Amino acid sequence: MPVDPELLEILACPNCKTKVDLVKDAAALKCGQCKRVYPIRDDIPVMLLDEATVEP
């Protein structure tokens, strides 16, 4: 089951508080501002700075 669309509307990057978007075939969430990518594991977004990677 994918991430709930209502949850996606309220999620924000913990670093810069910007909205995040689904990327990588819904396997991650990416912040458009600081370019951090947060993984989604077992349909749960892992919104921890230590778990995020930075992509261009």
Cβ-based neighbours of 29, under 8 Å, separated by 6 or more: 8, 11, 20, 21, 22, 23, 37, 38, 40, 45, 47
pLDDT exceeds 70 at position 38: yes
pLDDT exceeds 80 at position 10: yes
Per-residue pLDDT of 23-37, as tens digits, reads: 999 899 999 999 999
Predicted local confidence at residue 31, as pLDDT? 97
Q: Delineate the domains of the chain, giving CATH numbers in brackets.
A: 5-54 (2.20.25.10)
Cβ-based neighbours of 1, under 8 Å, separated by 6 or more: 43
Average pLDDT score over residue span 28-53: 96
